[in-house]
Amino acid sequence: MKMLISLDTVQKIKRELGRTSPSIKSSHRVEAMARGLGWKSNAALRACLMCSSIECEIDDTEFCNYLKNRGFENIASDALSKAISNVGMQSGQLHASATKRNNQGRQAFGIVGFFAGKVSLAAAFVGFLCAVFYLYNGAQTAVGRLDSTVEHILTVAEGTAKRSVLVFDEALASEVAGSLLAFPYIKKASIFDDHGVIIATVSRAKVTDVSLATISSLFASLGDKTYARVLVLPSGLDGNAELRLIVDQRVGLTMVPGPTMTGFFMFFLIGATLIFAFAALSRVLRKRVQAYLIELYRYQKA
């Protein structure tokens, strides 16, 4: 007779043997039980059951021989089978060899359910986290690129803006400020002299219309940002001048490389695939460990 055993089943059989054979020392009972189930020791049996349930052949002869070799007499020839039958009737754990195919079907169904349930949820969650990380990191990188681009613009315009302050040429200053509005994300450009007085200021008549649903804008601080570049003047003047820009980040983020929906789905799939691969590999590894333990510790009859 065969049965599918688990750690829980072993505990129930152990308790049942204690009830039916109280005169036998507990340590001998569990070791005899392990032999009767086809294992070299109780420790080996429990180690293999840590992986999953295992189908075993019940051997009353091995159970009785182990106890007789240790001085226990008057052991019922079917003591182990009876204890297991009692456990089977109480919990439905007993399986005859004729039901083996049904057990395999239920196990297969359990595997499908496991992958369709827990692993799928874990994969979706991890994939979502990977995608969000991609978006957040990409958006922050895009903001950094926008900052670098504006700083470069200020560097290019710095020399001409400084000259317009030194000669106090309002027309030149207006020309410099106006040329900066060629970049759609610059809303306003102003040049201040060494007294803090505006020499020239140019504003965009109409702000470029962009969707607030831009991927980068979802993960970055929206709104206008002011950039300023100090124009260092000769020491004889009262102070330094300044070139100041007001930039609409929402517009700017649409014009620098940033995260894309393709990248979002790619990172989602990468994260989900990693979880599925981990689950599959862990199951394979668990089966291999179980097979190794069975081969190493299963009782070999003479």
The reported pLDDT for the residue numbered 200 is: 94
Q: Is 158 in the same domain as 239?
A: yes
Q: How far is CA 69 from CA 21, 64, 66, 74, 90, in A?
A: 16, 9, 5, 12, 31
Q: Is 80 in the same domain as 157?
A: no
The tokens for 285 are 């590894």
Domain that holds residue 182: 143-252
Count the residues in the chain.
302
Could you tell me the pLDDT band of residue 192, with boundaries at 50, 70 and 90? very high
Q: Note the pLDDT tens digit of each residue in 106-122.
A: 444 444 444 456 666 77
Determine, yes or no, domain membership for 271: no
The reported pLDDT for the residue numbered 48 is: 78
Determine, yes or no, domain membership for 207: yes
C-alpha 296/C-alpha 51 separation (Å) is 15
Q: Note the pLDDT tens digit of each residue in 121-150.
A: 777 777 788 887 877 777 778 888 889 999
**Predicted TM-score (pTM) of this structure:** 0.48
Q: What percent of the chain has pLDDT over 70?
A: 76
The reported pLDDT for the residue numbered 73 is: 82
pLDDT, averaged across the chain: 78
Q: Is 182 in the same domain as 89?
A: no
C-alpha 268/C-alpha 180 separation (Å) is 40
Cβ proximity of 54 and 39 under 8 Å:
no
Determine, yes or no, domain membership for 280: no
Determine, yes or no, domain membership for 25: yes
Determine, yes or no, domain membership for 229: yes
The yes-or-no verdict on residue 240 having pLDDT over 80 is yes
Determine, yes or no, domain membership for 197: yes
Of the two residues 284 and 85, the one the predictor is more confident about is 85
The tokens for 101 are 């195919």
Tally of domains in the chain: 2
Where a domain ends, among 95, 121, 153?
A: 95
Q: Give the mean model confidence (pLDDT) for residues 251-256.
A: 78
Q: Is 91 in the same domain as 162?
A: no
Where a domain ends, among 225, 252, 279?
A: 252
Q: Which of 77, 110, 119, 115 is nearest to 6 (CA)?
A: 110
In this structure, the dihedral spanned by the alpha carbons of residues 178, 179, 182 and 184, taken in order and rounded to 10 degrees, is -50
Range with top average pLDDT, 18-22, 68-72, 171-175, 251-255: 171-175
Of the two residues 220 and 182, the one the predictor is more confident about is 182
Max Cα–Cα distance, the chain, nearest Å:
119
Q: Is 153 in the same domain as 231?
A: yes
The yes-or-no verdict on residue 196 having pLDDT over 50 is yes
Determine, yes or no, domain membership for 32: yes
Single-letter residue type at 177: A
Q: Is 160 in the same domain as 59?
A: no
Where a domain ends, among 61, 95, 129?
A: 95
Q: Is 90 in the same domain as 156?
A: no
Q: Note the pLDDT tens digit of each residue in 65-109.
A: 888 888 888 888 888 888 888 877 655 544 444 344 444 444 444
Of the two residues 161 and 123, the one the predictor is more confident about is 161
237 contacts: CB under 8 Å, gap ≥ 6: 194
C-alpha 45/C-alpha 40 separation (Å) is 8
Range with top average pLDDT, 5-14, 259-268, 292-301: 5-14
Determine, yes or no, domain membership for 279: no
Q: How far is CA 187 from CA 8, 149, 176, 178, 181, in A?
A: 72, 15, 14, 11, 7
Could you tell me the pLDDT band of residue 152, with boundaries at 50, 70 and 90? very high
The reported pLDDT for the residue numbered 259 is: 62
Range with top average pLDDT, 5-14, 98-107, 216-225: 5-14
C-alpha 280/C-alpha 274 separation (Å) is 10
Q: Is 90 in the same domain as 149?
A: no
